[in-house]
Amino acid sequence: MKREIILYKSIPNDLLEQLTNYFIVHQHQLKSEMDDYFISDLQRVEGIIGSKLRVDQQLLVQAPRLKIVTNMSVGYDNLDIEELTKRGIMATNTPDVLTDTVADMVLGLLLAASRRICELDQYVKLGRWDENIGEHLFGVDVHHKTLGIIGMGRIGLAIAERAHYGFKMKIVYHNRSTHSYAEKNLQANYASLEELLKVSDFILVMAPLVPETVKLIGEKEFSLMKETAIFLNGSRGELVDETALIHALQSKKILGAGLDVYEQEPISKDSPLLQMKNVVTLPHIGSATKDTRYQMAKLAVENLIKGLTGEVPPSLINPDVLKNNSKKENDSDG
Ligand SMILES: NC(=O)C1=CN([C@@H]2O[C@H](COP(=O)(O)OP(=O)(O)OC[C@H]3O[C@@H](n4cnc5c(N)ncnc54)[C@H](OP(=O)(O)O)[C@@H]3O)[C@@H](O)[C@H]2O)C=CC1
Ligand SMILES: O=CC(=O)O
């Protein structure tokens, strides 16, 4: 008898076929919240695969047979890992396969914000290009400037490499631990958060969303930045106090911003950020290329199949589950 799973994000047909070879697949189109059909299927399924859905105690009490939650993203701030581990449920994500694609996008944001690419694209398209542009429309240089990266992990490093090799930028970074590869190969310098904010021309937030990083960048942090600084967020909106960001931009405490993520997504249509020419706003598209989204779905499918057929999923977030589950089995044998 085939086991049952829920798929709540669309995936390419060949990958769907892989899933249906193993499982009865209940497909759902969730907007953001669970609906009654989803809750009813949750009672029976052993795996769920998708992205963004908040998986916490409230969901898990409705899923008595669940063994694996397969996130189709590298960030897993939507998963309550402690609760999942306590219940012996595996959690997986999709690291590495999206690293270069997200790094490319962040460089795009950086260039667009510094060279005013979106603003000047509109200038041309709206028929305002009548003579050579004046100084008031000049941008700022990127090459040889200092890029401060908060969260030098897989994606942070790929961005640092592009900035170092491609644009001869100086790299400073802030993590909880030091990154010897970046220091040795890219001459990156570790800095306290405060120091990084003071010395950087471009400040990029690339750390994960965890309780300690909520509103990591607020009014005080913006006040430490250079007036010529460009602020970039490629990780999660909640790491930044958006009201403080808006205030910093309105009061010209910083020069501009490039944003892929927001406190609320989709961003409210009346957000002041949408009225600012010196802010580049993207709709959370870090990994959104055909190839990379395919690779993410493929890895997620592999995680799910392996997790439910007795193998270790390649990107298991909470390996303690395996230890705890095998201890439980041994205890019940003995
Ligand atoms: N915009 C988009 O579409 C995308 C956004 N993302 C976001 O990017 C994030 C990073 O992904 P990835 O690079 O693969 O993850 P990694 O885990 O490889 O890197 C995260 C880095 O952040 C550092 N970090 C963790 N906590 C803190 C902290 N409190 N203060 C400072 N640094 C910290 C970690 O270093 P240390 O442990 O030493 O502190 C680590 O090096 C994801 O969690 C996701 O939220 C990812 C993909 C696409
Ligand atoms: O935001 C996207 C992710 O993969 O995390």
Burial class of residue 127 (count of CB atoms within 10 Å of its CB; 0-12, 13-18, 19+): exposed
pLDDT number for residue 33 = 77
**Which DSSP state fits 73?**
S
Can you give the pLDDT at residue 332? 63
What is the DSSP secondary-structure string of 234-303? -S-GGGB-HHHHHHHHHTTSSSEEEES--SSSSPPTT-GGGG-TTEEE--S-TT-SHHHHHHHHHHHHHH
* pLDDT higher than threshold 80 for residue 72: yes
Q: Considering Cα of 261, then 263, then 264, then 267, what sign does the dihedral take? A: negative
What residues are annotated to the active site? 236, 265, 284
Looking at this predicted complex, what is its ipTM? 0.99
State residue 49's pLDDT score: 98
Ligand nearest to the CA of 100: 1
How far apart are the C-alpha atoms of 142 and 145, rounded to whole Å? 6
The whole model's pTM is what? 0.97
What order of strands is seen across the sheet that includes strand 23-27?
Answer: 23-27, 3-7, 47-50, 68-71, 90-92
Q: For residue 231, what are the β-bridge partners?
A: 203, 257
CATH-assigned architecture of domain 3-95+291-333: 3-Layer(aba) Sandwich (3.40)
Does ligand 1 lie within 6 Å of residue 102's CB atom? yes
Distance of CA 124 to the CA centre of its chain: 32
Nearest CA owner, ligand 2 atom 3:
73
CATH topology match: 3-95+291-333 vs 99-281 = yes
Q: What is the pLDDT of residue 330?
A: 66
Q: Is 15 helix (H, G, I), strand (E, B) or coil?
A: helix
**Ligand nearest to the CA of residue 210, numbered in listed order:** 1
- Residue 86 pLDDT: 97
> Which ranges of 152-232 would DSSP assign to H, the alpha helix?
154-161, 167, 180-186, 193-199, 219-224
pLDDT single digits (tens) 252-296: 999 999 999 999 999 999 999 999 999 999 999 999 999 999 999
Q: Which ligand is nearest to the CA of 99?
A: 1
Q: Around Cβ 189, how many Cβ atoms within 10 Å? A: 17
Q: Cβ(148) to ligand 1 under 6 A?
A: no
Mean pLDDT of 231-256: 98
Mean pLDDT of 221-250: 98
Nearest residue to 146 via CA among 165, 163, 166: 163
Query: What residue spans define the domains of the chain?
Result: 3-95+291-333, 99-281
* pLDDT at 334 (0 to 100): 55
C-alpha distance from residue 277 to each of 5, 214, 248, 290 (Å): 46, 27, 14, 29
134: tokens are 């004046």
pLDDT band, very low/low/confident/very high, at 327 (cuts 50, 70, 90): low
Determine whether the shortest distance from the Cβ of 95 to ligand 2 is under 6 A. no
From the list 59, 87, 282, 234, the residue with the least C-alpha distance to 50 is: 59
**Residue among 301, 325, 303 at smallest CA distance from 314:** 303
Which of 102, 233, 261, 295 best tests ligand 2's pocket when mutated (most atoms within 8 Å of CB)? 102
Section 308-315 average pLDDT:
98
| Ligand 1 in reach of 154 Cβ (< 6 A) | yes
**What average pLDDT does range 158-162 have in this prediction?**
99
Residue that the structure tokens 């193998």 belong to: 311
Tell me the per-residue pLDDT of 88-113, one tens digit each, with 9 for 90 and over.
999 999 999 999 999 999 999 999 99
- For 119-141, give the DSSP string: HHHHHHHTT--SS---GGG----
Please tell me if the CB atom of residue 313 comes closer than 6 angstroms to any atom of ligand 1: no
Residue 284 CA, closest ligand 2 atom number: 1
Mean residue pLDDT across the chain:
96
- The contacts of residue 244 (CB under 8 Å, 6+ apart) are 217, 218, 219, 221, 222
Over residues 189-209, the mean pLDDT reads 98
Q: Is pLDDT of 117 > 60? A: yes
Residue 333 has pLDDT above 70, yes or no: no
* Peptide bond between residue 272 and the one before it cis (omega within 30 degrees of 0): no
Determine whether domain 99-281 maps to CATH 3.40.50.720.
yes
Distance 330 CA to ligand 2 centre (A): 37
